[in-house]
Structure 1
């Protein structure tokens, strides 16, 4: 295909990529990218609003909840990057500043691993073998000294993988930590995270649920496809938002954002390597994508 240097169907940021060789373009296609759809922007605004609260006895908390692979982690990562830490060398008192601290709830939820995860996020891995009381004390002290203003806890539903006693103790720790530091907590997880929070009346009253449901086949979905198409360095337009392709992608993805992106990026990579330069229904089939339901039915 002759290169025109002008690809009006692409976003300006992606036009230069379209003239790169095939391997470079495939790498770009497979790279994570931020897509600023309406629900994501609303979630970012809600988290920003919570961060703006001054310290008070009872801080507001959020629970970003939705199906797996539906964009929750990408939203909180985007938020964290918009509030980057300040290195110790750049502060007057020589102490780093970490406005937004993000951790993942350990798969085996207990207090030792929980505070160990906080210390690791603060760069204190060497304290991972200390007793719970020492880790708790050090973690809270460091969070104060580094001026942590928000704690984001991803995979919060992991709380339910522990025993009833472990679940209760972990939920108590969440409540204690928010009270002690007077900072907002943002939980991220599936519907099970909401069930865990609702098992504690006090936490249920403090965490406002913010839902990220699966997509509907509507105008917002078609705008998402158009935005995604404009960011992928294919040299010819695909028309992903047109009814035939949009319906096919929606049916295969079952309305889950991560699956939608996976279908499109797989087909886009195939379009580059095959020389087709545009996504078609045949290329989607050729990409080898298996729907979420299909993956659950695979026999081994």
Structure 2
């Protein structure tokens, strides 16, 4: 297809060729993970880039990426990690470089589980050592050997699931990690993460909060819908940015980015399956999407 004379002007150039593909192929593409750029996400990436280039010093700056569950935090840090995925081997020294390491916070603030998670993220065998000192020493040696320059800790709000004493020990561990490695930390979590970090005065002064609040009806939200529509291989324009349609999607998703994407994805798959080739506002209530608040109520 001649991309300079597109048949589907509402789509991105790289998506236009897919619009004529069979339904099964298009449905697979619609359901695939995708990066959706928007101003707040780009600002978060820029803030992490600044941290990555910060010179070593005793008191390193840190970032706390905070927002509701499913509102794009993990997608942002995965995008940042991929952009700096320079796992290279130095032929002369056999050293592997991992500039950005992402670790999942354990369900509870347990130091042994945390260092086991660090070792797993580093691709190092844990050998089932139970002693904290062994895990910690091994993790710290490999973190230095692989030249980790920024450590991302996801789901950091899990700190609050432990006892007060466990919380205090783990917060002390975070402060010690930053001091010992002299690298920035990026903590990622919900509003509870902010509460956990701010419960320690010294940590609160070191972590700059970066909020990803729920979306609201504004120009940035309408740009997001335009971008999302341009990524969906539907042959007709849906007009999701039109006021009634945009508000319908925002209300159903309760302002949460992941829910907007999930709702639009479900509706787009239904449109392809029905041969309609565009999203229709009157179909939104019929595709079986359950708003997050209702899902939590049913689960509870």
RMSD between aligned residues: 1.4
Whole-Å separation in 1 of the counterparts to 2:130 and 2:296: 41
Q: Residues 271 and 283 of structure 1 are in contact (CA less than 8 Å); yes or no, is this contact kept in structure 2?
A: no
Q: Residues 12-45 of structure 1: CA distance to partner in whole angstroms, max 9, x if unpaired?
A: 1111111211111111111111011000000000
Alpha-carbon distance in structure 2 between the residues aligned to 1:299 and 1:60: 39
Distance 1:62 1:206 in 2: 8
Q: Which residue of 2 aligns with 1:262?
A: 262
Counterpart position of 2:146: 146
Paired residue for 1:86?
87
**1:127 aligned counterpart, secondary structure:** coil
Q: CA deviation at 1:91?
A: 4.2
Question: 2:126 aligns to what SS in structure 1?
Answer: helix
1:193 paired to 2:205: no
- 1:163 and 1:57, CA in 2 relative to 1: closer, same or farther beyond 3 A? same
Which residue of structure 1 lines up, in the alignment, with residue 75 of structure 2?
74
Q: Deviations over 1:86-107 (max 9, x none)?
A: 233x543111100000001000
Q: 1:232 to 1:91 in 2, by over 3 A?
A: farther
CA–CA distance in 2 between the matches of 1:201 and 1:87? 38
Question: 2:17, 2:131 → 1: CA distance?
Answer: 54
Displacement of 1:164 in angstroms is 1.1
SS at match of 2:103: strand
Residue 208 of structure 2 aligns with which residue? Answer: 208
**Superposed counterparts of 1:2-151, under 5 Å:** 6-88=7-89, 90-151=90-151
* Deviations 1:114-167, CA, capped at 9 Å, x for gaps: 000000011113334341111111111111110000000000000111111111
State the 1:299 CA deviation: 7.5
Segments of 5+ residues of structure 2 without an aligned counterpart are none
Looking at structure 2, the residues matched to 116 and 214 of structure 1 have their Cα atoms a distance apart, in angstroms, of 33
Note the C-alpha offset of 1:296. Answer: 2.8
* Distance (Å, rounded) in 2 between the aligned partners of 1:131 and 1:85: 32
Residue 29 to residue 233, structure 1, CA distance change in 2 (3 Å): same
Q: Structure 1 stretches of 5 or more lacking a match?
A: none
Name the SS of the counterpart of 1:133 in structure 2: helix
Q: Which residue number corresponds to residue 290 of structure 1?
A: 290
Contact 2:116 2:126 in 1 (8 A): no
Q: Provide the secondary structure at the position in 2 that maps to 1:290.
A: coil
